[in-house]
Structure 1
Amino acid sequence: MNYTLNQLQIFVKVAQTKSITKASEELNLTQPAVSIQIKNFQSQFELPLIEIVGKKVYLTDFGKEIALSAEEIIEQVYAINNKMKAFKGQLFGRLKISVVSTGKYVIPYFLTDFLKENQGVELSMEVSNKEKVFENLKKNEVDFSLVSLPIEGHNYEYLELLSNELYLVGKPEILDQNPKKNAKLLASNLPMIYRELGSGTRKIMESYLQHQEIHVEKKIELMSNEAVKQAVLAGLGYSIMPIIGIKNELQNGSLVIIPQMGLPITTQWTLVWNHGKKHSAVAKAYLQFVLENKNQIIKKYFT
């Protein structure tokens, strides 16, 4: 056996994502590079590790065992590196955060200075929809989650970061900005572009439309906030979107806010963690950093 740590890390990522494409994106590698490393890793075993059906990767029973062992080896390597850093008096370890997709416009500003000040801290961040983020939190797989909608129950602790405002937006040349125009008429002219089921933004949209008694006949469903934005920019339809992700487009005039009764909808970007969670030294330090610097970060980047 002559496999490398790099091959182990790539195999674990493929096992986690069940996709060569997704693994390459998360590892910032090309798909051919990932495929080659997986092929080289596989060549060292007589039994198959994976099966590829279509574009989806399935682990064999043997592959599942190897993936578990590989994760343990990687954790041990991290532990060795962290012990060295501890002797040098540095804060070390991994900060694990799950973020709803539109939260990617928020969380980097609350991480940058902390990571610069603590070079021994590694960041593991998963960006997904609200359902997946809640699943990560429920399984205690992360230190913190960033959400824009409250999570039901009393098993969580919260730290509010800043407000999240959602508006109806579209292209200026195809959407009437008259504030008296009825949203029901808009809904009959162009498709409403939705996020996928499980998205917090979609939940907000559906709640608003139901409350305003607006029936949407034409719908388009897309899997990310960025995809929705590009579809609106292309003139495919309009959508209710968090303003934080479209600031540049509003400033340059490629998108406009369409005034509507009941909008904007305001929620809160909130850092959430399990009640009574025993935070690692890194997680404790990060929480303290956010408490101490939240107002300065908001003032600098979000006012």
Structure 2
Amino acid sequence: MNVRHLTFRLLQVYVAVVRLGSVSRAAAQLHLTQPTVSQQLKRLAEAVGEPLLDTHMKPTFIGTELYHAALDALSRFEDFGGFLQDARQGTRGGFSIGVVTTAKYILPRLLGPFNRQFPGVEVSISVGNRGYILERHRHQQDDLYLFSHPPAGEHTLSARFIHNPLVLLTPPDHWALQRPPTDFAALLNERFLLREPGSATRLVFEEWLRSRNLQLKRVMQIESNEVIRMSVEQGLGLAVLSEHTLMEGQHRLGRPAVPGFPLGSYWYLVCHGNRRLPYPAANFVRFVNEHLARCVDERHIHNDLDALLAHIG
């Protein structure tokens, strides 16, 4: 048998004839003429090189095996058709997302509801500091990214969707809680605990200081939000952190009423504009756009994802 001469249409015709036991009924079901069906049966028998049907339109021994093989093949491709439809709707398959460290407090609130609605989608997550995720973005290693200070570039698409307030934190017994200063300059002699250079939180804070011609006198660098938070609790210094880092668990921290705080910042979903976004990733963006209020406190919502969706389709 020369399998290259077999086509799905030949197999469909043969299955219909065997099931219905009649060329005319098969022709009617397939919206073909009887001569066309007869010709297709002849071509199939020639390709196999053996008789497939007897004079009563019953399959021969070999014809029966071909019938079962045709059913298997057509069934598999029907399954594939269903899979393809699900994949194009973004309900099957997977995507990867690169997440800056602080965003790990946000992502589970988005992925949890998404996973419950679309359990057939697998998500791969890479978490690291901003420099690490920027490198992944530069080499297009992920489909989506979650930044609070998105990278620039003509082929980068981004849209903000969550407000990310940066709050000033002090130890629980700090003097500024009882006597809030009227100007941040009164705190310049305090030790500040900062993330590594390049951290988005640090970038925003340092830009705010420069805009007011202010400069910190004492700085300790700590490359972990959790360690910074615990260090502030223990009186090691002051810090500026995302409010979202404080939403899990109980913390003994002060938040003095200092003018200018919290600082304004946002979370952005980012993707590459010069490559097609996988269907499941696009579906995730649509889900977040439509169900953000289910995932995040409404006071933090600042949703511009419609603009991103307009680009990715």
**Which TM class, normalised by the smaller chain length?**
0.5 to 0.7
User: How far is the alpha carbon of 1:182 from its aligned partner?
Assistant: 4.1
2:172 is matched by which residue type in structure 1? P
Q: Between Structure 1 and Structure 2, which shows a larger proportion of strand residues?
A: 1
Structure 1 counterpart of 2:168, one-letter code: L
Letter in 1 for 2:270: V
1:140 paired residue number: 140
**Superposition deviation, residue 301 in structure 1:** 9.4
What stretches of structure 1 of length at least 5 have no aligned partner? Answer: 1-82
Hey, what does 2:281 align to over in structure 1? 283
Q: Return closer, same or farther for 1:174/1:95 CA change in 2, 3 Å cut-off.
A: same
Identity among equivalent positions (%) equals 24
Q: Deviations over 1:33-81 (max 9, x none)?
A: xxxxxxxxxxxxxxxxxxxxxxxxxxxxxxxxxxxxxxxxxxxxxxxxx
* Cα distance in structure 2, aligned partners of 1:243 and 1:299: 12
Q: How does 1:1-303 map to 2 (within 5 A)?
A: 86=83, 91-177=91-177, 178-188=179-189, 190-247=190-247, 254-299=252-297
Cα distance between partner residues in 2 of 1:254 and 1:295: 28
- 5+ residue gaps in structure 2? 1-79, 302-313
SS state of the match for residue 164, structure 2? strand
Aligned equivalents of 1:110, 1:182: Cα separation in 2: 37
Calculate the TM-score normalised by the size of structure 2. 0.62
- Which stretch of structure 1 is more off in the superposition, 85-94 or 293-302? 85-94
Q: Which amino acid aligns with 2:186?
A: L
Cα–Cα, structure 1 residues 176 and 248, in superposed 2: closer, same or farther, change >3 Å? farther
- The residue type paired with residue 284 of structure 1 is A
CA distance in 2: counterparts of 1:254 and 1:287, whole angstroms: 36
Does the residue aligned with 2:288 lie in a helix, a strand or coil?
helix
CA contact under 8 A between 2:159 and 2:270: conserved in structure 1? Answer: yes
Question: RMSD of the alignment, in Å?
Answer: 2.7
| CA–CA distance in structure 2, aligned partners of residues 88 and 288 of structure 1 | 17
Quick one: distance in 1 between partners of 2:232 and 2:275?
41
Task: Determine the C-alpha separation between the residues in 1 that align with 2:259 and 2:184.
Answer: 8
**Counterparts of 1:154 and 1:239, CA distance in 2:** 34
Shift of 1:169: 0.8
SS in structure 2 opposite 1:292? helix
Look at both structures and tell me which one has the larger radius of gyration over its CA atoms: 2
Look up the equivalent residue of 1:265 and give its one-letter code. L
Q: Is the Cα contact below 8 Å between 1:158 and 1:270 reproduced in 2?
A: yes
Superimposed CA distance per residue, residues 180-231 of structure 1 (whole angstroms, 9 cap, x where no aligned partner): 354333231x310000122111111211222233332221111121121111
Contact 1:172–1:253 at 8 Å: present in 2 too?
A: no
Give me the whole-angstrom Cα distance separating, in 1, the residues matched to 2:84 and 2:261: 54
Distance 1:88 1:163, change over 3 A: closer
